[in-house]
Every structure is written in structure tokens, then in C-alpha cells.
Structure 1
Amino acid sequence: MLPSIPVPGRGLPRLAAGAAILFLTGCVSVGPQPVPASLNPDAAANSTRALSSRAAPVAWPAQDWWRAYGDPQLDRLVERAGAASPTIAAALARVRQAAALEGLAAAALSPQAGATARAARQLYSENSSVPKPLAGSWQWANDLGVNLGYEVDFWGKNAAAVAAAVGRVNARQAEAQAARLAVSSAVVQAYLQLDYLYAQRDLAEQELHQRTRIVDLVRQRVAAQLDSQAELKQAEIGVPAARGQIAALDEALALTRGQLAALSGQGQDAGEAIVRPRVALARPPGVPADLPAALLGRRPELVALRWQVEAASGEIDVARAQFYPTVNLSVSAGLASLGFDRLVQGGSRTFAAGPLVTLPLLDGGRLRSNLAARSAEYDLAVAQYNGAVLEALRDVAAQLTSLRWLTERVREQDAALAAAEEAYALAEQRYRAGLGNFVQVLIAETQVVAQRRGQADLAARAYALDVNLVRALGGGYRAAVNQVFSEQRYDQSNH
């Protein structure tokens, strides 16, 4: 253990030290700075009518929102995707990286201590300032020391750096949630596409059956000499065309299964085990009552961008504080001797303590350029956030608009299908009775096929809009803390 060492003197009086710091502070100016950008406070308030719903208010989506479709196979695919997605893994790695950088910034707020030990065999020059008998001799130079340093954060530079680092951590955490939402949405959309392709294949099978039946009917009429071979060949064209459509749908089904296998982090062979979806939407239409005000804290990408604004604000504070003096307090104590036999004697003690004040006087404009760059980054972060808010509001409004008109489209499509089926039945009856020609049957059949496909398209559209609305509402995300962001983090009167 090192012997106790008395502190020599009392140091500079506090008044003199304060006066010196004030003098140095007055010699530095940050120069004129542009007015910083401000967050847009009116976009959400001016979207109330567009984001209203005629249906009863509903709760915000749950974090496991895809379970509302009631398909266990879909649940397993989403869970596997969340565990195996490289996108999510990269986002979580960025969270850990930002947390490590936060710890690095926080270290500047704490005292720093270190110990040194040196033993060197040294030859002293005969022609230097070292007197005899050391001159021209070999000696062991030994040093043991302990150093303690602490930077006094008078201007809040280190605290601002920590605040900026915290903002980046929170931003990365929100970005990780956005990545999870993107992956789960991609899996659900691909799964619903698989369901849609199966529905289209059912229609193609019905079309094939219907056209085969028409061919049989025409053959009967040809045998009875009521039709010619021309009508028979015309009817037979539809059969291979329907089979080709089925083959194309089988190809699309295989590709979509492969896409789902990849999204869920599995090999392509796993796609063969995916069976036909059994989805049924159990989520009522509508939007939450506190939309749009709460949307800003529900969309993970918006929360991430707001934290980026906060981090950029902290960087401005750091850049401003660099114009002011840096005050470091240091204490060092140890032992130093020539030779090992006197190293631990009282006369070998060393001690130093005192402040170190530094201030750049001529830097070629480096500090001002750094502050200007940080201010521009803040304006950029604000602009990106404001743009994202407008896009988020437009996104939700677009889904609601489409949902409102979907009901009308479904009603009209049902009516069109009923009329087409009735027209086809009448055309077939007339053809059987010899009162109509085969062209009329083909036209009526084409209309039925088109209307059935239109109905399937609208059913798929309803699922797609549901997914899009859930995504637009944040997919069950909610900011963990109440973020309060100032539009202007630094006092322009000091510029």
C-alpha cells in the first residue's frame, strides 16, 4: 500500500478560478446560426374527419394481430419468421450497438482511474545535463503511480452526449419493432395470397367442369344433327384453356409456398408441407376512438424518427458546448527512484493535483462547421419526421377510404354475379331447346366466370385492406415511455 501523502497548498481560490473561466468563455462566440426546423403540430389535428369511421370505435390492434384470422398454421409461420428473420436479427444487433455506444458516452460522466508501473535499465549521457556520478552510468529507473481524472461537465457537453446516445438507443428499439411488423405483415400477406390462389383454382376447376359439360352438350346436339362440327370445335377450345389456367395457378401456389418457407426462415422443402389456408376474419371494422392523436405513438417508424430528432438535438448541445472551456481535475500519486532498493522509501513519493483548463482559440472554423453540420442534421431529422407523419396519416386515410367503398363494391358485385348466373342459365335453356345459338351461351358463360373472379378479388381485397390497416395503425406497437420533444433545443439568443 502506498504511504499517505499530504496535499501541498490549497490551490487556486474559487473566485480566481471562476473569473478565469468567465474570461475564457467571453472570448469565444458560436456566431450566427440559422433558425432550426420545427415539428409539424397540425397534421394530425387537421386529419380528424378523414380518419373517422362510421363503424363503432374498436381497440388498437394487438401485438399478435394475425391470430384474428384463426389459422394455427399462419400463427406458426409468423412465429418462425420472427425468430429466424435476418431483418429482425440485424435490427436487434443495431439496438445492442447503440446501447454499447450509450455506455461509452456515459463513461465520460464518471471519474477515470488508472495505474502505471515502469522499470527500465537506462544509460545516462555523459554530455547531457545529468551530473556525475549518474552521467555515463547504467541505472534502473522505476516508477509506480496511480492517476485519477475527472472532467467537470460545466456546460453539459457530456450529459448532452448521453442524451443523444439514449435517443439513438430508443430509435433503434423502435426500428426493431418496425422490422418485426414488416416481417409479420409480409408473412400474412403471402399467406393471404396463397388463400386467394386456392380460391382462384377452385374457380378454374368450376370453369373446367362447366366447359366440359358444354362440350358434352354440343356433342349431343351434333349427334342429333342440330349443330355442326364448327360449334363443337369452338366448344372444345375452352377445355384446354381452363386446364392451362389451372396449371398456371398450381405454379403460383408452389412459388408462394416457397416464399412463405423463406419468410419463415425454413428451407424450400418446408413449403411442400404448407397446406391450404383456413382463414376467417374475426376483427370488426372500425378505428380506435383516439385516432389520429395517438397514432404518433403507435407507429414504430414514427417513434424511431422522433427519437432521431431528440438525438440530433443532443448533438447540437454537444457541438455548442465544445466552444466553452474544458475543465479536467487530475490527481496522481506514486513512487519513483533510481534502483530498486530505494523505491519504497518515503523520499521516493510523488504527488500532483490540480485543474487543467483548455479552450481552442484558433481552429480554422472547425467548431462552427461542426455546429452547422449538427444543426443541418437536426433539420433533416425534423423534415424526415414531418414527412413520415404526413405519409402515415395518408396511409391510414387511404385504407379507411378503400374499406368504405369496398362495402359498396361487394354489394354491386354480388348483384352482378346473380344477374350473370341467371343470364347464363337462360342462355343454356334456350340453347337446349334450340331457340338460341352457341355464341350466346359462350358470352353468358364468360360473364359468369368474370363476375366470380371479381367476387374472389374483392374477398381478397378485404383481407389485404385489413392487413394494411393493421400495419398503418402500428401493428400493436405502443411507445414504452411518453416522449416529449422540443421543437427547439438551444437558445438562439446565445448565437
Structure 2
Amino acid sequence: MKILSSLTLCLITALCSGCTNVLKSDYRAPEVNYPINWTKGDVDGNTSPFDWEEFNDPNLDNWLHLVMTSNNDIAIAALRIHRAQLDAERTGITNTPALKAALSMDGKKQLNNSSGWAKSGSASLGTSYELDLWGKIARQRDVAEWAVHASEEDFRSARLMLLSEASNNYWRIGFVNQQITTLQQSIDYAKETLRLAEVRYRAGNISSLDVIDAQQNLLTQENQLTGLQREHSQLLNQQAVLLGTVPGCQIVEPTTLPKGSLPKVNANIPASILMRRPDISAKEWQLREALATVDIKRSEYYPTFNLTGALGTSSASLLALLHNPVGSVGANLTLPFLEWRQRDIEVKIARNDYEQRMLEFKQLLYKAMSSIEDALSFRNQLLLQETRLREELELARKSEWLNEVRYRHGAVRISFWLDAQEKRRQAELRLDENRFNQLQNLAKIYLEFGGASTFP
């Protein structure tokens, strides 16, 4: 080991402080074009598409709380954060001075004479440290830290996705239960219609064809009920998956869709809110990580200095162990640029990875913009459709009533009345489906905008 003078150590220290940022690349967010109708400006801390509490459904809130605390996917995402934190801690430990200590004791005695024991002992303390002349170690720490940030955003993204999936499951169960209730009432109505047809047939007022039509109508609705009951069972099994438990553990089952007013989507949400979306934020952290990796590969072109220091003692008696210390300081120099062809390829590979990440980041942003535009456009369509469906249902009810009156007076066959009943049922179903689609659409909008800073 070569002994270095104090002047040499001072020069190395100066180099360390002066060269650290030589190879550091400045990160610049990729340029992205936003739709011309989007609002410019910075994101307020409270900016969100709407307040989730405006659903005013305590059962929904309780259900989401259960899922968030029990779902296995969320637990896995949390473990990944902890793993990234451990990796960052390991990187920090690797890049700190390494200490080694040794202590030994020995005793000898001549067997052919009466002399006493000859005792000896030694102790040594050594350290080694790589000087960060080119910022390589600092960039390695950055990569580890940004990996933690990316994992945290992945965790937020998993929670948002789960929020959407669990909400849709909750609302679909309510939608199916509402359909089942409506269809059961309709089946009772169909049975009464069949009874009336049989009475009129026995009285000789109608032909047997009307009775057959009424029987077919009843069977059709009973088959529809069987299909809905099967879907209901599947949704409850999906609940068990969301909760990370076995099927059959029913937790929450709404009987209908929410009846109150739905949340209103806030206007003039700035375009920059996209940067708060966890999946986009995670992708940007990964982009920073890829750029830092390029710097690390570039730094491997340059020499690496490893400082070593040692302090040792040795004596014939353990009592005098610390009386004769011997110290030394040395440095090892490695020259990686001698393998320049391999280093050059590694830098190009890292640069290629960075460019891929940049394009993926931009593509994710454009997909997010498209999804938001689609969700907002669909919401406007659903609101307009709701108005027309209410008018359609009102007309269907009037038609059903008129055809019932005409049938009871013998003016038309029962098929006219049955057709009017079916049109009324379909109008009710379409209106309920519109309500369900509005709920799903709101969850989609909430997801696309990245939720709120405090929820989920």
C-alpha cells in the first residue's frame, strides 16, 4: 500500500468536491402539447374533479374502508414500498466508509524447560472509502431514492384502481338487486295477467292464443330472474376477492342504486393536474431514474480512487497492546477506461433505456388526455340521455295503461298489452342503467384525474 502525504490527501479532497457534478445531467420534463380547450395554470392543493363525500353514502364509505384495509394487492404494493426503502438504505450503507476490526491473543510455553508462558496480542482497525470524484455514488443514491418515490406512487395508483373497482362492484350489486326487485314485481304482474287471460278464455271472450302469450311472457321473465340471480352470486364472489377472503363472506349488499343527487364535476380544472396522477408521477420518477443511470454509466469511464486506512498494534503482552500503534493511509487506483468499448456500449444502452422511458412517459400523458376527454364527453351524453329516458318511460307507462284498458274492453288482443308491458319494463331498465353508468363514469373521472390529495 502506498503511503500518501497530507498534501496528496488534500488534493484528492479538493478533486472530490470539484468534480462531483461534472457528469450530472440536468433533468428537464419532456415537452407535451395539451388540448387547446384545457385550462392552463398550476394545481391547487385541493383541486379534484369532485368531492367523493358528495355521494352521501355511509355504506359505500364503510365498504371502501374495508377493502382498502384488507385487499391483498394493496398489501403487496405496500411491501414494494418497504422493499424500495430497504434498497435505498442498502445503497447508503454500501457507499459509506467500511470499517474492519480484528483482535487476537496468543500464548506459548516451552515444554522442555520451566520458563513461563510467552504471551502476545495484536489489534487492527482498517477502513476503506471510495472517493466520489465524478458523482457516481451520489447518482446511485438518487436512483435508490427515486425508486422509493416511484413505489409510493405505484401504491397510490393501486389504491385509486381499487377505489374504482370496489365502487363499481358496490353499485353493480345495487343495480342488480334493483333489477331483481323490479322483475319480481313484474312477475307478480305477469301472473295476474295470466290469471285474467284464463278467466276470459273460460268465459269464451278470447281464444287460447291469448293464454299462451301470457304463459310465454311469464316464463320469459322467470328466466330473466334466474340470470340476474346468477349475476348477483358472481358479484358477491367478486366482493370476497376484493376483501382477500373466501367466497361466502358477504359484507355489504346495497338493495338499490343511490337515489339522491350525484356529485357535480368541477369546472376549469388545470391541465397540470395530470402530473398529480400517480401512474404519471411514477413514470416521471422512473424517467429521472433512467437519466441518472446514464450518468452512472458515463462515470464508469473515469478512474476510481479507493482510500484505505489502517491502525494496528502488536506486543508481547496484552497490557502493552496499545503502546505501539502503527498507522498507514493508502489509495488504490482503477482505470476503467481501458475497457472503453464495453463502457461505450453500456452508456448507449442506458441512453436507449432513457429515451424509451421518455417516449413512454409522453405516450402515457397523451393516453390520459384522451381518456379524460372520453370520460367527460360520455358524462355529457349520459346527462342528456337521462332526460330523454325519463320522457320515454312516462310515455311507456301511458301506453301500457291504455292497452290494458283496451284489452279489458275486448278492443285488442292480449299481445298488445304484453308488448306495452315489455316496453315499460325496458324503459325502466334503461333509466336504471343510465343511473348506474353515471356512477361508473364519475368513478372513472375521479380515477383519470388522479383523485384528491387526501382521498383515497
TM-score range relative to shorter protein: 0.7 to 0.9
**Contact 1:11 1:354 (8 Å CA) reproduced:** no
CA shift for structure 1 position 263: 1.1
Q: 2:299 aligns with which of 312, 317, 321?
A: 321
SS at structure 2 position matched to 1:47: coil
Q: 1:88 aligns with which of 65, 74, 87?
A: 74
Cα deviations across residues 344-366 of structure 1 (Å, max 9, x unaligned)?
A: 375x5432113333222432733
CA shift for structure 1 position 201: 1.2
Q: 1:152 aligns with which of 125, 131, 144?
A: 131
Partner in structure 1 of residue 61 of structure 2? 75
Partner in structure 2 of residue 217 of structure 1? 196
Partner in structure 2 of residue 49 of structure 1? 37
Partner in structure 2 of residue 366 of structure 1? 342
Question: Are residues 20 and 459 of structure 1, via their aligned partners in 2, closer, same or farther at CA, if it must alter by over 3 Å?
Answer: closer
Partner in structure 2 of residue 484 of structure 1? none
Greater helix proportion: 2
Partner Cα separation in structure 2 for residue 19 and residue 225 of structure 1: 113
Q: 2:264 aligns with which of 285, 293, 296?
A: 285
CA shift for structure 1 position 273: 6.5
- Matching residue's letter, 1:374: A
Partner in structure 2 of residue 344 of structure 1? 321
CA shift for structure 1 position 93: 1.1
Deviates more, 1:102-111 or 1:299-308: 102-111
Cα deviations across residues 469-488 of structure 1 (Å, max 9, x unaligned)?
A: 11111122489xxxxxxxxx
Q: 2:183 aligns with which of 197, 204, 213?
A: 204
Q: 1:179 aligns with which of 158, 176, 181?
A: 158
CA shift for structure 1 position 76: 2.1
Deviates more, 1:439-448 or 1:304-313: 439-448
**Contact 1:51 1:396 (8 Å CA) reproduced:** no
CA shift for structure 1 position 218: 1.3
Count of matched residue pairs: 434
Partner Cα separation in structure 1 for residue 366 and residue 378 of structure 2: 18
Q: Residue 469 in 1 paired to residue 445 in 2?
A: yes
Partner Cα separation in structure 2 for residue 16 and residue 240 of structure 1: 94
Question: Are residues 386 and 280 of structure 1, via their aligned partners in 2, closer, same or farther at CA, if it must alter by over 3 Å?
Answer: farther
SS at structure 1 position matched to 2:248: helix
**Contact 2:120 2:318 (8 Å CA) reproduced:** no
Question: Are residues 235 and 328 of structure 1, via their aligned partners in 2, closer, same or farther at CA, if it must alter by over 3 Å?
Answer: same
CA shift for structure 1 position 12: 5.3
Q: For structure 2, which runs of at least 5 residues remain unmatched after alignment?
A: 41-45, 109-117
Partner in structure 1 of residue 392 of structure 2? 416
**Contact 2:171 2:257 (8 Å CA) reproduced:** no
Cα deviations across residues 127-174 of structure 1 (Å, max 9, x unaligned)?
A: xxxxxxxxxxxx998642111223221211111111111111100001
CA shift for structure 1 position 188: 0.7
Partner in structure 2 of residue 250 of structure 1? 229
CA shift for structure 1 position 223: 2.5
- Matching residue's letter, 1:300: P
CA shift for structure 1 position 66: 4.9
- Matching residue's letter, 2:177: Y
For 1:221-300, what aligned pairs fall within 5 Å after superposition?
A: 221-271=200-250, 274=253, 276=255, 279-280=258-259, 282-297=261-276, 299-300=277-278
CA shift for structure 1 position 247: 2.5
**Contact 1:177 1:477 (8 Å CA) reproduced:** no
Partner Cα separation in structure 1 for residue 4 and residue 436 of structure 2: 84
Q: For structure 1, which runs of at least 5 residues remain unmatched after alignment?
A: 1-7, 53-57, 123-138, 480-495
**Percent of pairs with identical residues:** 19
SS at structure 2 position matched to 1:41: coil
Partner in structure 2 of residue 485 of structure 1? none
**Contact 2:72 2:243 (8 Å CA) reproduced:** no
Partner Cα separation in structure 2 for residue 173 and residue 273 of structure 1: 29
Question: Are residues 17 and 51 of structure 1, via their aligned partners in 2, closer, same or farther at CA, if it must alter by over 3 Å?
Answer: closer
**Contact 2:39 2:271 (8 Å CA) reproduced:** yes
SS at structure 1 position matched to 2:333: strand
Partner in structure 1 of residue 100 of structure 2? 114
Partner Cα separation in structure 2 for residue 205 and residue 388 of structure 1: 46
Partner in structure 2 of residue 188 of structure 1? 167
Partner Cα separation in structure 2 for residue 306 and residue 253 of structure 1: 41
Normalised TM-score (structure 1): 0.78
Partner Cα separation in structure 1 for residue 180 and residue 375 of structure 2: 28
Question: Are residues 261 and 274 of structure 1, via their aligned partners in 2, closer, same or farther at CA, if it must alter by over 3 Å?
Answer: farther
CA shift for structure 1 position 399: 0.8
Partner in structure 1 of residue 331 of structure 2? 355
Partner Cα separation in structure 2 for residue 221 and residue 186 of structure 1: 51
